[in-house]
Structure 1
C-alpha cells in the first residue's frame, strides 16, 4: 500500500487561482504527482461565457480560437495560467505579428502558481496571428499563436 500525501496548501493556491482568473479547472503535475481542481455546477455551464470578465477585448478573440485550434501552425498552451508577451513590464515583447522566429525561440511566458514558464516555438516560421491577450488567463490546450 503506497502512501499518498495531499498538499493542502497547493490545493488552496489552485482554488484561489481559479477564483482570481475565472477559470473552470486547473491541473498541475510534478513527477508522478498530479493535482486537479475543478468547479462543478453552474460554473461549468458558464465556461464558454468567460467573456464577461472583459467583454470588449474577448469578443473578437472568441471566434478566432475555434478556427485557430485546428490550424496546423497553432501553438497551444501546455498549461493553465496567465500569458505575458514580454519578460517584464515595459520591456519589448518576445514576438509580434509578421516576425520571423526560429525553433526553440521564446514566444511568451505563462505564469502558473507564481512560476514563469517560457513557451518556446515548436518550429521556425513567421508569426501570422497572436490569439492570446497579454496579461489574460489561458486554459490548457487553448491556441496562443499561429506560426506559418
Structure 2
C-alpha cells in the first residue's frame, strides 16, 4: 500500500470520526474496497460498549423505540421465569436477531408494499426480515436461522444502534 493511499485512509478515518460526533452517533462501521485483495475495514466508536451479552448485566435504556416500556422491577417473582426473562431483556433471548449496524429500520421494500415479515410468519434461514439503511445504503437483514417470528421489537422508520434487538425468532 502506497503512502498516498495511507494518507487518504487517515483522512477518511478522521472524516468518519467527525461524522460520528456531528450526528451524535455511537458507532460507524465501513468497509472500503480498493481491489480484489485490498480493502480497508474501519469501525469508529464513541462510547464504551458491552460486548458480552451473556455475562454482562442489562444496560440502561437503549435509544430504541419498543412496543413496551422497559420493566422497572428487576426481579420476576414465581411462575414462568423463562417468559419473564424473555420480556425483561429481549437481547438476551436465544432467538434474538440483533442489528449489525447503526441505521434506520424499514419493514418493507418500499412504501405501501407488504412487510417482509409479521408476527407468526415462518421464515427460512437467509430470508429477508427487514432493511437497515445506513449511510444511504439499504442493507437487507437475513434470518440467521429458520423458525417462527414471535416478536417484532422495532417499528418502521425507527433508528437503531449496533447490537439492538430487532425481533425474536423461535
TM-score of the pair, normalised by structure 1: 0.73
Work out whether 1:88 is the aligned partner of 2:110: yes
More helix by share: 1
Which of 68, 71, 84 is the aligned partner of 2:90?
68
Q: Structure 2 regions of 5+ residues with no counterpart?
A: 33-38, 49-58, 72-85
Superposed displacement of residue 60, structure 1: 1.7
Q: Structure 1 regions of 5+ residues with no counterpart?
A: 41-46
Superposed displacement of residue 65, structure 1: 7.9
Contact 1:86 1:109 in 2 (8 A): yes
- Distance of 2:151 and 2:112 partners within structure 1: 22
Rg (Cα) greater in structure: 2
- Distance of 1:65 and 1:139 partners within structure 2: 20
The verdict on how the C-alpha distance between 1:67 and 1:92 changes in structure 2, with shifts beyond 3 A counting, is same
Counterpart of 1:118? 140
After superposition, the CA RMSD in angstroms is 3.0
Count the aligned residue pairs: 134
- Distance of 1:50 and 1:72 partners within structure 2: 19
Counterpart of 2:29? 27
- Distance of 1:65 and 1:81 partners within structure 2: 24
The verdict on how the C-alpha distance between 1:76 and 1:96 changes in structure 2, with shifts beyond 3 A counting, is same
**SS of equivalent residue, structure 2 residue 68:** helix
- Distance of 1:88 and 1:112 partners within structure 2: 16
Bigger CA drift: 116-125 or 57-66? 57-66
* Structure-to-structure mapping, 1:126-145, within 5 angstroms: 126-145=148-167
Contact 1:11 1:35 in 2 (8 A): no
**SS of equivalent residue, structure 2 residue 168:** strand
Contact 2:27 2:43 in 1 (8 A): no
Bigger CA drift: 29-38 or 111-120? 29-38
Contact 1:76 1:144 in 2 (8 A): yes
- Distance of 2:125 and 2:62 partners within structure 1: 32
Work out whether 1:36 is the aligned partner of 2:44: yes
